[in-house]
Each structure stands twice: as structure tokens, then as C-alpha cells.
Amino acid sequence: MSSAPRSPTPRPRRMKKDESFLGKLGGTLARKRRAREVSDLQEEGKNAINSPMSPALADVHPEDTQLEENEERTMIDPTSKEDPKFKELVKVLLDWINDVLVEERIIVKQLEEDLYDGQVLQKLLEKLAGCKLNVAEVTQSEIGQKQKLQTVLEAVHDLLRPRGWALRWSVDSIHGKNLVAILHLLVSLAMHFRAPIRLPEHVTVQVVVVRKREGLLHSSHISEELTTTTDSLCMSSERDAFDTLFDHAPDKLSVVKKSLITFVNKHLNKLNLEVTELETQFADGVYLVLLMGLLEDYFVPLHNFYLTPESFDQKVHNVSFAFELMLDGGLKKPKARPEDVVNLDLKSTLRVLYNLFTKYKNVE
């Protein structure tokens, strides 16, 4: 069935080489006396959405065209949102957040809509870092939300800056529901706290950047890398006997745990300490440090570690210090990471304790 011929519409017969649809849109607005009125901008935004001449901006909302002079707005290209790796990344992060916040009875369904005001980010950071932020619990105003975000992000920056993380987000970008910025923040948090998740590798998205200059809207495309390799993410490692034990012989796991508990209590009992749960009682690093002192027969000065650690970083410090004592004692560098032990990863804790058991099992 042949289509009816299109009715001619008044428009210039030729387009300049670098004149884009957004340029035409901005030019039209600039020529109108009331171009800055919201109603006009919304109408032009709708035209931009529906126009086949702007496929890259098919996801633009009317408010995205309401830009002040030199203001910039970014959005993910719709084709990138359909990429399987991108969808997997979003799903993995959503599931992780909901797992962490399950006791708070918080369910996150959409990252940009549920995280922009700082409420969920506050709860997430408090849960991960084991701290309490001095912020108002509920804030309705934009100013209050941004103040809360500022406090939350400053706490995040204090954690990440010493480790050289690139900070690819800001209060304005998070509050502006910039999904790229939110994903960068969540990926960095997951990596810092050694989240027990596997992030997809090499997730890259095309980002459309729209800027208003001299009354005209200009667009450009950039590639944004959200994740790199698994090695860089430090989310996985080579399989060993404990992987096999967990996967194929869970019935023997209780036997291994019982043997290790007997071993550590043989020494910790000298300090009137006793372990009943391996994954929880070694998570703050205190028992590991004390155990190393007992096994190597020396006193560990209390100023070298936190006897009652409260924050995530203090616990990581303790476990890292215990690892240093192990290296000084002639052991190989533990395969587990301090963050894994602090995050109650049983497999990592068993690896550390088993290394001690193999060397010191005959020590009285």
C-alpha cells in the first residue's frame, strides 16, 4: 500500500552543514519574542521527541529543553539503555541496594527516581560504613534535599579520596537525576565496600550532552565508561579448594569450621576469649590481631589497632594490620581482601584462618 504524499511544510530549502535539529529548535525559539516561556519550551521539547530527525534525543523530556544560557544537560542515549550489559549493571546494583537495606524495609525500584533526594543514599552509606550521619531524616524542599546530599556525598568522599578514586558525580548531578553520575557513585561504593556481587565488565554508554549557547541548543555525544575489567573491579579471584568446598561439598563445611574454631579457641582462651561464629567474630579484625600475637608469642601494642572499632574503615584497618603481622610471621600474603573479611564473607575468613592453622597447628 503506497503512502500518501506528504504535505509541503514551510521550511528552509537547505540546511547548513553543522546545523542540527536542536540548532533549528534554538534558532526558532530565539526568533520568538516569548521564547523563554515554559509553555513554548515544552511544546518545542515535544516536537524534539517526536521528530524523526532527532533519533539520538528520543528520550528527551520537555523539561530537558528548559535550559538557561550556558546550562548543560546530559542523558543516556536510548540505544545504550537497551544494551544487555547496561541492563545487567542496573539490575545488579538495584538488587544489591535492596539486599543491604532489607532490614530498613526500603525497596528501590528506579535508581534515578529513588536516590536523587539523598534519603536512600544516606541509609545505604550508614549501613555499609556502620556510621550515623547527622542529617534530617525527611526533607521535602529542594534546599533541604541538596543539603542532605551534600552531607552524604562528603562522607562518601572522605572514604574514597584516600584511595585515589575519581569522583564523577556532584550534588547537582545526583539531585538532577543524572543516571550516569548515580551509576558511577554506586559502582564506586560497591567496589570500596567489596560488595558480594559481580558487576558486568566493560559497560560503556553513549551520553548525549545538550548545552545552550547564545540562545541555541547544541548537542554532542561522548562515551562514558561505567565499569572496566573484573580484575580492576577486584570482584573475583581464582578458584581454590574453598570454592570447591562451598559449591560441591557443603556437608563438609561444618567439619572444617569446627576444626578451625577448636584451633583459634585453643589460643584465644588464654585471654579468656572464645569464638563461636567465625564469620562474625573475626569481622572487626580484633581477634585476628590478638590471635597473631598469641601465635607469635608477643604483645601487640594497643595503639596499633582499634580495640573497639566502630566504622568500616577502622575494621578494615584492623584486618589489614593483622595481615601485615602474618607477612612478618613468614606467611604468604592472604588471598582474601580485608574488606571481604569485614563484610562477613565466610569463605574469605576461612581462607585466612586455614592459612594460620596450617602453619601454627602444632603451636601450644
Same CATH fold assignment for domains 76-204 and 241-361: yes
Fold entry, domain 76-204: Actin-binding Protein, T-fimbrin; domain 1 (1.10.418)
Whole-Å CA distances, 335 to 53, 154, 327 = 55, 32, 12
Which bin fits 123, alpha (ψ -120 to 50), beta or left (φ > 0)? Answer: alpha
SS (H, E, C) 270-337: HHCCCCCCHHHHCCCCHHHHHHHHHHHCCCCCHHHCCCCCCCHHHHHHHHHHHHHHHHHCCCCCCCCC
- The x, y and z cell numbers of residue 44, run together, are 518545542
Task: Return the domain boundaries, the chain.
Answer: 76-204, 241-361
Q: Tell me which DSSP letter residue 144 carries.
A: H
**Residue 171's pLDDT band (boundaries 50, 70, 90)?**
very high
Question: Judging by beta carbons within 10 Å of its beta carbon (0-12, 13-18, 19+), is residue 112 exposed, middle or buried?
Answer: middle
Give residue 82's pLDDT: 92
Asked whether 319 and 338 are in contact (CB, 8 A), the reply is yes
Task: State how far the Cα of 252 lies from the Cα of 136, in Å rounded to an integer.
Answer: 49
Q: Cell 549493571 appears where?
A: 89
Instruction: Collapse the DSSP code of 151 into the 3-class scheme (helix H, G, I; strand E, B; otherwise coil) and give the result.
Output: helix
Task: State how far the Cα of 26 lies from the Cα of 248, in Å rounded to an integer.
Answer: 64
Task: State how far the Cα of 117 lies from the Cα of 159, in Å rounded to an integer.
Answer: 21
**Residue 259's pLDDT band (boundaries 50, 70, 90)?**
confident
Q: What is the DSSP string of 79-139?
A: HHHT-HHHHHHHHHHHHHHHHHTGGGT-----HHHHHTTSHHHHHHHHHHHT----S-S--
pLDDT in tens, 78-96: 999 999 999 999 999 999 9
- Maximum mean pLDDT: which of 110-124, 136-150, 240-254: 110-124
Give residue 289's pLDDT: 95
Task: State how far the Cα of 190 lies from the Cα of 183, in Å rounded to an integer.
Answer: 10
Which CATH number applies to 241-361: 3.40.50.40, 1.10.418.10, 1.10.10.1100, 1.10.3720.10? 1.10.418.10
Judged by average pLDDT, the poorest of 41-55, 291-305, 317-331 is 41-55
Give residue 58's pLDDT: 41
Task: State how far the Cα of 282 lies from the Cα of 295, in Å rounded to an integer.
Answer: 16
The mean pLDDT of 260-286, rounded to a whole number, is 92
**How many other CB atoms are found less than 10 A from the CB of residue 319?**
28
pLDDT in tens, 190-238: 988 878 777 888 899 999 988 888 888 888 888 989 988 644 444 444 4
Residue type, 98: N
Give residue 71's pLDDT: 79
The mean pLDDT of 155-176, rounded to a whole number, is 85
Average pLDDT, the chain: 79
Task: State how far the Cα of 125 lies from the Cα of 132, in Å rounded to an integer.
Answer: 9
**Residue 97's pLDDT band (boundaries 50, 70, 90)?**
very high
Task: State how far the Cα of 41 lies from the Cα of 46, in Å rounded to an integer.
Answer: 9
